Structure 1
Amino acid sequence: MKYILMFTLAMVVTLSGNAQMGKVYTAYGHLQEQQLDKAKAAIDEATTHEKSKDHPKTWLYRGQIYALIQAHRSTEGQFKDLDDQALEKAYASFLRCKELDQKGSFEKDIAKGLDDCRRGYFTEAAAALNGGDYPKAHELFKKTVEVSDLIEFSDTNSYFYGGQSAYLAEDYKGAIALLTRACDLKMKQGECWNLLASAHWFNGDTLGWKNTVEKGAELYPEYGGLITQLASYYVINQKYPEAKEVLHKAIEKFPDNEELCYNLGVVYDNLEEVDNAKTYYEKAIAMKPDYFDAIYNLGAMYYNYGVRIQNGANDIKDVKAYNKEKAKADETFKSALVYFEQAYALDPNDRNVLVSLQQIYTRLGKKDKLAEIEQRL
């Protein structure tokens, strides 16, 4: 009788264990029949029971079930509202299966499941980026990269767009981390180096900015954004001849690029070559009639030129000669006024424009106009 009791007890334990693994197989059956609500209920129960919670097959099926729920979420399918954390649960399940699968029996299934998760994260990341939720997009692209690294998949798109998302979210350190990898993989080439350089700049790393601009311009000498940044580097460091050379070469290749013409105008402006600066500012405006910066800079250039003429006139003792130079200065101020008023029409709230108009109306004695501007200051 003693042996019979022990045998009966053993049978009960075995049947109980098989019953719990039965939940796993039940879940799998529902999965095959696309009955995801029933599959989810069965597999969730199986993952909590002592006899099945540490079996790799339990977590493999759980990952597959939640991955399919996520697919319904992405395509507005029947079970799209079954679980709003389906992707995260699928990913966690495949990781748990990988951890438990000591013999590697499910290696290929795990790899496929993780790749499904990678695609899922990329889809959500792209939607967030296109929807303007840049912090969310950055986090999701990072997750995509994490999964890609796990399955040894070179996901260059995620590096670039993840870096772009971080940049747009003003997380410049995050942008640098991902864009550096994208550049190493030659993703988006000149565009990638240009964005990486900008991220270094806004992160306050001027040395990193300089090195990235120079390296990028060396690799992709025809990319306009890098040429502009290289010219900006020269301008910031007052290396105007170098900036002028770079921009002239660039304009030969891209004669219809208003930004390059504008920047060459800035270089000539700093060299106090008024006629040359005017030529390139006006070229930029001809291509883009509402180019505020070019219009304002033309006004500022003529104003500063007028001040230099006026200051020179103040040292002249001969009245006739003084009046001649004074008249020349006034004409120059009038030229400046034309551009300042155009800039004002484009942006009547820009403080630099308002202050400039205040100064020039004062110099030219236009009291009515001056009163109008001073009310806005």
Structure 2
Amino acid sequence: MKKLILSVALVGATTLAFGQKKVVRDAEKGFKSGDLSAALTAIDAAATNPETSGDPATFVLKAQIQTKMFGADSSNTMETLKVGNSALATFGKAMEMAGGDKGSATGKAVFADELPGIPDNLRPYSVNTLKNLSFDKAIDRYNSEDLEMAYEFFNLAGEIDKTDSTIHYNAGFLANDLGRFEDAKRHFNLLLELPEYNKLNAYYFMVQILSTEEKNPEAALDLVTKARDQYPDDKVLAEYEIQLLLQLNRMDQAMAQIKEALANDPNNPGLWLRSGYLKEQSGDVDGGLADYKKSVEIDPEFYQGNYYTGALLLEISTKMLNSLNDLSDAEWEKQSPIIGAKADENYKEAIKYFEKASALQPENTDVMIILYQINTRLKNTAEAEKYNQKLIQLLGPNWMDN
């Protein structure tokens, strides 16, 4: 009797195992035929049964089914993304069960190469297929101006391949554009770890995020210093370094960097502007004015150069006129006409720089107000009225009261 009971039990166990293996075969059949919903139902049953749930091949097949479903969904929405994320997680589970061995049968199936242009029926539907499908979906969403989903699909592709510079640059670029700065930093940092990759653009983005969005100029300067070690001749990095040193009030370092940068790039108006600013701040007003003028000589269309030159000429005149207040009455009578005439010469010179600045930014009312005030002082009645009318048109008849 005991032998009979044992025999019946063995038959039952064999039948059960055969049944579960049939479920896996049904899943394979659905996967190949395209009946993916039925295939997923079958493989989910196998993945929860003790007889087949311990076999990593079960989860490889499930991931392949999910990957095929991901590719077949052309809506490319968050629901599509969920399927892709699930496929990646299932591939990960299969590899975990295989001890992470890429050389095993499981590893070879998970990481099977996908040849370009291969027909769908020959695609391995490996994790590399999942990456390529996600990249294609990202491009589709980008071309449709759905930048949020474009980023999500690039991000999924990047989760699969940490070394694909095209994927991570696109993901970082979009994340930055969307204001997702932590995500952008994560992708750009991955690019900075790639040994043969030209990292300049990644450095540019990272410096801007650190200095502007995170308001952390110290960290930005540290990164620029690291970047300049790798790219010592890059002019953009040199300018970033100067800007950050100015922001951190490290004037001596900034001046040294400007001199070095000007030696390599003497026709850069922005560098001459910064040199002038540093000289002005250090008390060398004449040197600052000369450098501001130099920036405009190099590029007459340089708005900042024109504005800073005009502004410094006005400041020089103001200080000259204020100096009269310290004189005795007798000295005031003597010096006032002389100093006043010198101040007016600066005002006249300033006009041409502010007029150029106004031409470059014709809607800038601040510059118009300055021109109105200078022309009023110099008794250029017609010119002053011209700017008054422009300001009335732009700011209203009571603009002087604002």
**TM-score normalised by the chain length of structure 2:** 0.71
Deviations 1:279-327 (A, max 9, x none): 12331x24xx2x3323322322222223223323555534453223212
Contact in 1 for aligned 2:23/2:43 (Cα 8 Å): no
The letter of the residue matching 1:92 is A
Find the residue that maps to 1:372 and give its secondary structure: helix
1:327 is matched with 341
Stretches of structure 2 lacking an aligned partner (at least 5 in a row)? 113-125
1:170 is matched with 179
**TM-superposed deviation, 1:228:** 0.8
**TM-superposed deviation, 1:265:** 4.0
User: Is 1:266 aligned to residue 313 of structure 2?
Assistant: no
**TM-superposed deviation, 1:109:** 1.0
Using the aligned pairs only, state the percent identity: 19
2:261 is matched with 250
1:33 is matched with none
Length, aligned pairs only = 357
Equivalent-residue separation in structure 2 for 1:182 and 1:355 (angstroms): 48
1:29 is matched with 32
Contact in 2 for aligned 1:269/1:277 (Cα 8 Å): no
Aligned CA RMSD, in angstroms, stands at 4.0
Equivalent-residue separation in structure 2 for 1:205 and 1:268 (angstroms): 26
Change (3 A) 1:276 1:11: closer
2:391 maps to which of 368, 373, 376: 373
2:39 is matched with 43
User: Is 1:198 aligned to residue 208 of structure 2?
Assistant: yes
2:57 is matched with 57
Equivalent-residue separation in structure 2 for 1:246 and 1:321 (angstroms): 42
Change (3 A) 1:62 1:335: farther
Contact in 1 for aligned 2:20/2:52 (Cα 8 Å): no
Contact in 2 for aligned 1:302/1:332 (Cα 8 Å): yes
Equivalent-residue separation in structure 1 for 2:371 and 2:343 (angstroms): 16
**TM-score normalised by the chain length of structure 1:** 0.75
Equivalent-residue separation in structure 2 for 1:130 and 1:279 (angstroms): 45
Change (3 A) 1:226 1:311: same
Aligned positions of 1:1-377 closer than 5 A: 13=16, 16-30=19-33, 36=34, 38=35, 40-49=36-45, 54=53, 56-68=56-68, 84-85=80-81, 87-101=84-98, 104-112=104-112, 113-125=126-138, 139-148=152-161, 154-186=163-195, 187-202=197-212, 203-270=214-281, 271-272=284-285, 273=287, 274-283=289-298, 285-286=299-300, 289=301, 291-315=302-326, 317-319=331-333, 321-350=335-364, 352-357=366-371, 359-365=373-379, 366-373=384-391, 376=395
Contact in 2 for aligned 1:265/1:279 (Cα 8 Å): no
Change (3 A) 1:197 1:5: closer
Q: Which moved more, 1:20-29 or 1:366-375?
A: 366-375
Equivalent-residue separation in structure 1 for 2:12 and 2:230 (angstroms): 75
Q: Which moved more, 1:120-129 or 1:182-191?
A: 120-129
Find the residue that maps to 1:48 and give its secondary structure: helix
Contact in 2 for aligned 1:189/1:220 (Cα 8 Å): no
Find the residue that maps to 1:293 and give its secondary structure: helix
Contact in 2 for aligned 1:296/1:340 (Cα 8 Å): yes
Change (3 A) 1:42 1:257: farther
The letter of the residue matching 1:106 is T
Contact in 1 for aligned 2:262/2:268 (Cα 8 Å): yes
Change (3 A) 1:127 1:267: farther
Find the residue that maps to 1:106 and give its secondary structure: helix
Equivalent-residue separation in structure 2 for 1:126 and 1:265 (angstroms): 46
Equivalent-residue separation in structure 1 for 2:90 and 2:164 (angstroms): 22
